Structures are given as structure tokens and as C-alpha cells.
RNA sequence: UGGGGCGUCGCCAAGUGGUAAGGCACCUGGUUUUGGUCCAGGCAUUCAGAGGUUCGAAUCCUUUCGCCCCAGCCA
């Protein structure tokens, strides 16, 4: 705490931590305070998770490394545009951050600072660094110039301090309609950085704000509110995404101009990192909104979406998402992470968390001809494979008539097909080996039933004199629990959506992103499962009991992710 | 009158003048009553290209090329 050598710093794992370490070593700060500043106008997605993990993670790490400084990452709602924001979004954002596993000490709002922001604005006017501009919206745009050419000064740029103050105060009082005047910083209309060409600080908006009600009719812009909010709160490192790099110069201008006047406790600095992109999905607010409002998915928590609500309902664990964020690192290069990386993370997490059970998704009746008609054996089946160090098992009923999956039988199998086929023998998981002796077909030639014989001497041991390579899952017909199973897959059928502006990306939606199966057969033990329980359906994937649609007598399961399937891959599927 | 960034294996990403980490993906074998897991092995003579400095360069210099961001009274 006090002895400075105790401030030995762990090896930085990315450029942000490197910067923080240097700041600490140089004594620029003696604690680290970060912030996660969502605008409450939409749902959080996995891209936000990267920012959440970074900002809250930094606070946690340095809070531990610098004992006594506390752990401080501010959840701050950037609520400066009353026409778009709402309390509903604040609630879902809080729920999502908590679900991800992070906690804040206090909730902040940019709107908490409206009065101070206003005082800062008046100060800038008084020192001649801000003025009221009465150009129209299109005129302002025209005067701004272009990326390749300088802008020109507004005719209102040289108004007197007195006139500016009077106008600004009347703006606050509500004497003007929306759009009539704005407050602008007086910087440089020829600055090569367009963000510095007399940026707007305040605009008039006669709109009710979800936090401040009708108290205000002028609202600060992001570029004004954000740096001041950071500075007021004592944020040390203000971390945002790459597209704000150009805003940094303005961020610094605002803080520098106000530092003395506002007596900020710290001099915050902004740093930018590359946002998370994933292939086979969409992440932009606009596209997510279009999917939801266009009815292409069933709401913000549709398991096909990369929203945190969607991933949660899909069955992804917070641990798996944090693991993804840790594994992709933090850097400045624009990048797109492979969905396979996320899928690895959830499989890796669930491998030792999800008990194994048997479920037949596309049932095919199998009758064991030499098994006694009314006999039922209770066989012990472990919930965990040998390599997962957990205890626990259940009894599964075995009988003459069972269901197996259609994929596990072929009339004319290719080489190295280890499952069932005419004349072939296969192991029934936890039970006996059976040999297919006959098949029953309907008039169209479809196999409707399989006839087998079993070898009574193969329970818990291998048959003598022959090798049975395949093991398949099954469910006793008389004891099965019927269920609906929703097979989810990647949202898009191509890596990147078409680049077109409008709704073109809708054409890239994977038609099989959701396949609903009914009449699936679950093993008896699943009758006791609760919503949100996760299981591995052996040989098929990880599934979760749906939190909304599942009913005790009509369970619904969502497929979280398939198991790796090297057989399917070798078959070129 | 343009400015700000970024380019290291199929995808991420370490590396900060001393001779290319790691993860995912992929390929080989082994174990296996999950074609899962696990284990063993393989996978960049080269860092966008070209020059240069140096005993030595992904790292320094010069130059070329490519990609991203900025012209909301959004954030």
C-alpha cells in the first residue's frame, strides 16, 4: 500500500495493461478506476462483453494488486439523448452485466452531471471558447467542409460573450424550438481532424428524459459529456473502441480547458482497442434491431442472436463468454474472431459441468426379438465419463422395444461406419450389444423398424471373439419422455454478411439456424429436469432446458452446441 | 487539406535489435462402452512489399502497397 516497491507490476498481457503499469510506475495514478458506459438504447451483445470483461477485469486486477485502493469500475449510463433512451434498457443492461459475473459499487448516469456540464459550458462561453451558433442543420454540415477540404467559420462565431451567455441561458429556459441554436466549441474550422471543427456541445431537445424528466430542454453531446463525466468520477483510464480515435483530440481539449475551472480529481486519458467481431453472425445495433423488428427471430433473447440475452437463453455460460474474451486478447488491429473459438469455449466449459444423458432426437423403433416381452431391467448409467472426476449415476430402464436415432442406422453403410446396419453389431450404451437381423419398411421403402437380437453376455463386458466398434445411445420406448428440441445453428450461412447497406444481410440468414423437432424421446430421468438445466445428450451435443417455453409435462430443449464430430467431418458434411 | 489508426500461420495473438510464444482450426497416431474428452506429434527459414543501417532486423530508417475510421443537432 504505502511502500512503493510493493508496487511491483505483473507482466502486462496487452497494451492497455502495459500503459497502466507505466502510469503506476511513473506515479501518475495510485489506483485504477475504469468505467463501462453503455447508452441505454439497446441490448448488450457479446461485443459489449469484451468491453465489460476488459473494464471490470482491469478494476478487479488492479484492485487486488494495489491493496486498499478498492475495486472500481463504474457502470455509467451515457444518457445524453432523451429521444432514444429508456429505463427498460437500463434494466436489461444491468441484468446482463450481473449475469456475466460483474458487480459495480454504484450506478452512474451522465445525466447526474447535467448541471455541472451546464456550468462548464457557461465557463467556456465566458472564456471565449464556446459560442451559440444559429446556423441550420444543413448549413452546419456545409460549413464543416469535407474530409479533404477546410470548413469555414460560422457567421455567428464572433458573437460577444454577453450575447452568447444570454442566448445559451434562454436556450436552457426553453425559449427556442429544437434545432434553432446549438452551442459549439470555438476551435478551428480548418483543423484536419474534422472532430475539431467547432464541434457541437449542446443541442435543443424538447423531450422528456427518463431520468431528469422535463428539467432540461438542452442536452450535451457525447464529446462534451463523456470526458467531463470521466473526469468528475475520477476515471483514470477511459477505454473505448477504435472508432473513437479521432475523438480523443477533442476529449483532451475538453478536459484541458476545464481542468482548472472544474477542479477534476484526475486527468483521465482515453485509449482505444479493437471491438470484437465474430463471423457467421451480425453485431451492429441496426442489424440486430432489424432481425427482431422484422420478425426474423423471436425477440431480443432469441438463441440465434449474439445478444447476451440470446446467448444466455441458448445455454451459453458466463464463464464461456469470459473465457472467449480472455482468449482473443486486446489489441488495436481490426479483427474477426472465428465462431469456432466461441464454440470451443462453451464445449470446454460444459465438458465438466453437464451431466451426460441419453436422448433420441429422430426416433427409429428397434425391437429386440430374443428379449423377454415384459421384462424391464434397470441399468446403472454414470452421469460422467471416466475422464470427468465427478460422481453420480442414475438407473435407466431397458426393455424389448427401444428407440435409436435414425442417423445410427444405414441400410447401405459406407466403409468405417461403426453404427447399425443389416447384419452389423453395435453396443447399446450402458447396455447390451445387439445385431441387426431384419428391417421393416413401409410401402415407400422407408425403414420404419429394426429387428435385432441381443447377446445377454455383453452387459458390462465385451463380447468374446469379436470386436464391437460402435456404441449408440437409445431410450426405452415405454419409459420415454416426449420433448420438443430446438436445434440451433449459426445465424448466417456465410462468414460475413453482404456488405450492402440495406437489408441485404437478411439473405445470408441460415435457414437451418433453427430446426424444431417434436416427438423426441428423452430418457426417463429427464422427467425431473428443471428449466435452465444443462445436459450433454450423449454423442449429440449440449442442451439446455428452455427457461421460457419448457413445461413440466412438455419439456423444450435448446441445443447449445454440437459435440465435435470427426465422423461427420470425414464424410464431408 | 487531409487527418487518425492498423498490417506476424486459415482465425485471434505474443514479440519492444540477439535469431518467430500460445490458443482456435486443421492433419497424424494412441486411449476410449460418447466417432466426445484426454494424450503424443505435426502445422510461419519468415513477419504486407522493396530498399537501407547493423556482426545480427518482425523490431531501427526510407519508400511502396493494402485495409479500417472521421464530413449525425447519435454514441
| Widest Cα–Cα separation across chain A | 103
Residue nearest to nucleotide B74 (CA to C1'): A81
Nucleotides of B under 7 A from a protein CB: 1-8, 10-16, 22-27, 32-38, 67-75
- pLDDT score of A498: 83
* pTM flag (> 0.90): yes
Catalytic residue, chosen from A7, A31, A39, A116, is: A39
Strand pairing of A474-476 and A433-441? unpaired
Catalytic residue among A152, A275, A332, A394: A275
Q: Nearest nucleotide to A244 by CA–C1' distance? A: B69
Active site residue A39: yes
- Among A273, A276, A256, A272, which residue's Cα sits nearest to residue A264? A256
Residue A61: partners with Cβ closer than 8 Å, 6 or more residues away: A17
| CA pair distance A559, A515, nearest whole angstrom | 10
Q: Which nucleotide is nearest to A37 (CA to C1')?
A: B75
> What is the distance in angstroms measured between the alpha-carbon CA of A566 and the sugar C1' of B27?
12
A127 by DSSP, 3-state: which?
coil
- φ and ψ of A49, to 5 deg: -60, -35
A484 is annotated as an active-site residue: no
Told to judge if A28 belongs to the known catalytic residues of this protein, a careful annotator would answer no
Q: Which residue has the cell 467531463?
A: A228
pLDDT at A52: 98
Could you read off the pLDDT tens digit of each residue along chain A, which spans 573 residues?
333 333 345 566 999 999 999 999 999 999 999 999 999 999 999 999 999 999 999 999 999 999 999 999 999 999 999 999 999 999 999 999 999 999 999 999 999 999 999 999 999 999 999 999 999 999 999 999 999 999 999 999 999 999 999 999 999 999 999 999 999 999 999 999 999 999 999 999 999 999 999 999 999 999 999 999 999 999 999 999 999 999 999 999 999 999 999 999 999 999 999 999 999 999 999 999 999 999 999 999 999 999 999 999 999 999 999 999 999 999 999 999 999 999 999 999 999 999 999 999 999 999 999 999 999 999 999 999 999 999 999 999 999 999 999 999 999 999 999 999 999 999 999 999 999 999 999 999 999 999 999 999 999 999 988 999 999 999 999 999 999 999 999 999 999 988 776 788 999 999 999 999 999 999 999 999 999 999 999 999 999 999 999 999 999 999 999 999 999 999 875
Helix A87-100 and helix A318-328, axial crossing angle in degrees, nearest 10 = 80
CA of A192, C1' of B35: distance in angstroms: 61
How many angstroms separate the CA of A20 from the C1' of B45?
A: 37
Which residue in A116, A285, A298, A365 is the catalytic one? Answer: A285
- Tens digit of each residue's pLDDT (9 = 90 or more) over A30-86: 999 999 999 999 999 999 999 999 999 999 999 999 999 999 999 999 999 999 999
Calpha distance A149→A192 (Å, rounded): 8
Amino acid at each position: 500500500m504505502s511502500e512503493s516497491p510493493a508496487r511491483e507490476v505483473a507482466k502486462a498481457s496487452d497494451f492497455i495493461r502495459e500503459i497502466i503499469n507505466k502510469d503506476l510506475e511513473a506515479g501518475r495514478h495510485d489506483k485504477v478506476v475504469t468505467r463501462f458506459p453503455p447508452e441505454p438504447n439497446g441490448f448488450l451483445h457479446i461485443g459489449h462483453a469484451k468491453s465489460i470483461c476488459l473494464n471490470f477485469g482491469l478494476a478487479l486486477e488492479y484492485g487486488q494488486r494495489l491493496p486498499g485502493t478498492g475495486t472500481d469500475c463504474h457502470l455509467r449510463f451515457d444518457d445524453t439523448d432523451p429521444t432514444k433512451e429508456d429505463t427498460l434498457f437500463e434494466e436489461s443492461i444491468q441484468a446482463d452485466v450481473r449475469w456475466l459475473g460483474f458487480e459495480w459499487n454504484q450506478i452512474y448516469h451522465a445525466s447526474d452531471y447535467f448541471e455541472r456540464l451546464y456550468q462548464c459550458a457557461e465557463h467556456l462561453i465566458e472564456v471565449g471558447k464556446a459560442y451559440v451558433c444559429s446556423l441550420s442543420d444543413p448549413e452546419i454540415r456545409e460549413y464543416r467542409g469535407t474530409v479533404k477540404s477546410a470548413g469555414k467559420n460560422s457567421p455567428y462565431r464572433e458573437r460577444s460573450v454577453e450575447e452568447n451567455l444570454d442566448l445559451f441561458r434562454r436556450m436552457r429556459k426553453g425559449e427556442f424550438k429544437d434545432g434553432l441554436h446549438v452551442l459549439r466549441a470555438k476551435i478551428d474550422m480548418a483543423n484536419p481532424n474534422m472532430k475539431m471543427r467547432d464541434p457541437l456541445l449542446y443541442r435543443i431537445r424538447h423531450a422528456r428524459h427518463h431520468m431528469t424528466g422535463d428539467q432540461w430542454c438542452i442536452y450535451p453531446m457525447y464529446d462534451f459529456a463523456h470526458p467531463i463525466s470521466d473526469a468528475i468520477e475520477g476515471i483514470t483510464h477511459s477505454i473505448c473502441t477504435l472508432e473513437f480515435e479521432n475523438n480523443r483530440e477533442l476529449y483532451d481539449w475538453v478536459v484541458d480547458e476545464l481542468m482548472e475551472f472544474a477542479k477534476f480529481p484526475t486527468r483521465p486519458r482515453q485509449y482505444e482497442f479493437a471491438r470484437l467481431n465474430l463471423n457467421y453472425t451480425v453485431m451492429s445495433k441496426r442489424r440486430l434491431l432489424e432481425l427482431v423488428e422484422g420478425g426474423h427471430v423471436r425477440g431480443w433473447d432469441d438463441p440465434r442472436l449474439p445478444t447476451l440475452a440470446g446467448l444466455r437463453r441458448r445455454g451459453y455460460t458466463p464463464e464461456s463468454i469470459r473465457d472467449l474474451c480472455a482468449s482473443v486478447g486486446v489489441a488495436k488491429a481490426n479483427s474477426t474472431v472465428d465462431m469456432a473459438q466461441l464454440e470451443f469455449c462453451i464445449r470446454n466449459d460444459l465438458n465438466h459441468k453437464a451431466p451426460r444423458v441419453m436422448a433420441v432426437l429422430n426416433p427409429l423403433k428397434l425391437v429386440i426379438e430374443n428379449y423377454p416381452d415384459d421384462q424391464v431391467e434397470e441399468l446403472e448409467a454414470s452421469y460422467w465419463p471416466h475422464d470427468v472426476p465427478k460422481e453420480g449415476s442414475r438407473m435407466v430402464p431397458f426393455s424389448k422395444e427401444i428407440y435409436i436415432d435414425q442417423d445410427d442406422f444405414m441400410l447401405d453403410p459406407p466403409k468405417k461406419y461403426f453404427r447399425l446396419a443389416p447384419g452389423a453389431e453395435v453396443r447399446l450404451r450402458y447396455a447390451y450389444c445387439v445385431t441387426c437381423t431384419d428391417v421393416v419398411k413401409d410401402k415407400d421403402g422407408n425403414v420404419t423398424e429394426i429387428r435385432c437380437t441381443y447377446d445377454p453376455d455383453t452387459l458390462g463386458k465385451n463380447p468374446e471373439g469379436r470386436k464391437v466398434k460402435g456404441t449408440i445411445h437409445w431410450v426405452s420406448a415405454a419409459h420415454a419422455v416426449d420433448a420438443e428440441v430446438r436445434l440451433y445453428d449459426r445465424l448466417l450461412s456465410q462468414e460475413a454478411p453482404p456488405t450492402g447497406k440495406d437489408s441485404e444481410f437478411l439473405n445470408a440468414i441460415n435457414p437451418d439456424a433453427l430446426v424444431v423437432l417434436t416427438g423426441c424421446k428423452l430418457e426417463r430421468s429427464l422427467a425431473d429436469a428443471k428449466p435452465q438445466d444443462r445436459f450433454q445428450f450423449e454423442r449429440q451435443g449440449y442442451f439446455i432446458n428452455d427457461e421460457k417455453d419448457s413445461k413440466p409435462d412438455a419439456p423444450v430443449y435448446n441445443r447449445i452446441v454440437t459435440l465435435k464430430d470427426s465422423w461427420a467431418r470425414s464424410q464431408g458434411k
